[in-house]
C-alpha cells in the first residue's frame, strides 16, 4: 500500500457486514492521460468525495454526463466512464455492500437517479461532513469521520431477506439460478424481485451477472489463468458464452479488457 492509495477496513464491528473498505487516493494527474476511463460494473455501491478536484462522470447508456464532487453510485450494468477535470485526483470514499443504501434511506432505491448527489440525500449531514473532512490531517482521521457518519445515519430496518440473498449469490460466485435462489429463500419470484428493486435498485438477474463478472475479472487481474480456465471456473457453458456475457456487460471482449487492466486507475477488483 502506497501513500497515494490508502485502504482501511471498518473499525466498528457493527459495520463489518456493510462496508468492504474505506479508501483515500491523492495523486497528481501529471503525465497520466486526461481521457475518460471506463469503470467496470461492480456489485457494490461506492461513496466518493472528490474535494475540490471534481470528475466528469458519463453514463453512456443514458447519454448523460455530470460533474461531481460528492456522490453515491448505484448497482448497475450501465457503461460509465470517469474523467479528471483538474490536475489532481483526490478522493475519500467507501465501497459498501449493495443493500447498504437501503439502511440510509427508506425511499425505494429504484426511485433514485443513477448517480446520487449526497447533499440531496443527506442535506446538512453531508454539508457538515465536507467541513469536518477538510479539518482532518491524515487519511486515518478521514476514515474515522466517514465511519462516524455511517454510524450516525444508519436506520433500524429488517433487511435479512435481501442480505441472505446477496450472501447466497456471492457464496456461489453468481453461479445460481434466480428461481433456485427464490425457492431456497422461501419466496415467490415476484416477491424476491421486489426485494431487489426496493433495497438494491436492480433486478436480481442483473446482480447475479455482476457477481459473475467480478469473479471473472478478479481471476483475469490477479492470476495467470487462461480465459478457458476462467470460463469453466465461472461455470459458463463454454468460452463463446463467457465472451458473449462479458461483452454484453462491459462492451469489450475479455482478452481486450485484460490487456488494458494494468493501466486502469480505478480498478475496484
Question: Same fold for the domain at 5-153 and the one at 160-263?
Answer: no
Q: What is the pLDDT of residues 227-256, one digit of tens each?
A: 888 888 877 878 888 888 888 888 889 898
Q: How many other CB atoms sit within 10 Å of the CB of residue 186?
A: 9
What pTM, to 2 d.p., does this model score? 0.90
Q: What is the pLDDT of residues 179-198, one digit of tens each?
A: 999 999 999 999 999 999 99
| Residue 1: pLDDT over 50 | no
Q: Which letter does DSSP use for residue 159 in this model?
A: -
Q: What is the CATH number assigned to the segment(s) 160-263?
A: 1.10.10.60
CATH T-level assignment (fold) for domain 5-153: Jelly Rolls (2.60.120)
Distance (Å, whole) CA 232 – CA 111: 37
Distance (Å, whole) CA 40 – CA 147: 26
Distance (Å, whole) CA 214 – CA 250: 12
Helix (H, G, I), strand (E, B) or coil at 96: strand
Placement of cell 455492500 in the chain:
97
Look up residue 66 and give its three cell numbers.
455530470
Average pLDDT over residues 37-47: 92
| pLDDT value for 70 | 96
Helix (H) or strand (E) holding 142: helix 139-153
Can you give the residue ranges of every domain in the chain?
Answer: 5-153, 160-263
Which sign, positive or negative, has the C-alpha torsion 263, 213, 44, 16? negative
User: Which of 174, 184, 179 has the alpha carbon at shortest distance from 217?
Assistant: 174
Amino acid at each position: 500500500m502506497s501513500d497515494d492509495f490508502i485502504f482501511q477496513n471498518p473499525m466498528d464491528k457493527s459495520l463489518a457486514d456493510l462496508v468492504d473498505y474505506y479508501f483515500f487516493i491523492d495523486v497528481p494527474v501529471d503525465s497520466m492521460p486526461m481521457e475518460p476511463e471506463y469503470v467496470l460494473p461492480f456489485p457494490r455501491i461506492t461513496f466518493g468525495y472528490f474535494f475540490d478536484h471534481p470528475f466528469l462522470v458519463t453514463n453512456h447508456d443514458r447519454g448523460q454526463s455530470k460533474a461531481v464532487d460528492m456522490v453515491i453510485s448505484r448497482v448497475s450494468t450501465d457503461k460509465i466512464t470517469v474523467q479528471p477535470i483538474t490536475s489532481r485526483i483526490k478522493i475519500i470514499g467507501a465501497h459498501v455492500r449493495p443493500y447498504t443504501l437501503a439502511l440510509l434511506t427508506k425511499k425505494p432505491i429504484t426511485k433514485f437517479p443513477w448517480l446520487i448527489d449526497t447533499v440531496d440525500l443527506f442535506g446538512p449531514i453531508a454539508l457538515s461532513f465536507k467541513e469536518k473532512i477538510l479539518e482532518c490531517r491524515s487519511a486515518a482521521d478521514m476514515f474515522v469521520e466517514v465511519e462516524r457518519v455511517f454510524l450516525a445515519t444508519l436506520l433500524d430496518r429488517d433487511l435479512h431477506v435481501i442480505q441472505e440473498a446477496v450472501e447466497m449469490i456471492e457464496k456461489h460466485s453468481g453461479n445460481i439460478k434466480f428461481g433456485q435462489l427464490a425457492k431456497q429463500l422461501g419466496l415467490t419470484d415476484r416477491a424476491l424481485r421486489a426485494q431487489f428493486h426496493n433495497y438494491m435498485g436492480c433486478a436480481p438477474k442483473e446482480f447475479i451477472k455482476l457477481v459473475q463478472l467480478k469473479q471473472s475479472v478478479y481471476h483475469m487481474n490477479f492470476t495467470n489463468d487462461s480465459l478457458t480456465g476462467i470460463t469453466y471456473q465461472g461455470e459458463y457453458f463454454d468460452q463463446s458464452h463467457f465472451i458473449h456475457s462479458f461483452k454484453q456487460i462491459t462492451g469489450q471482449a475479455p482478452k481486450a479488457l485484460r490487456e488494458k487492466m494494468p493501466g486502469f486507475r480505478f480498478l475496484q477488483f
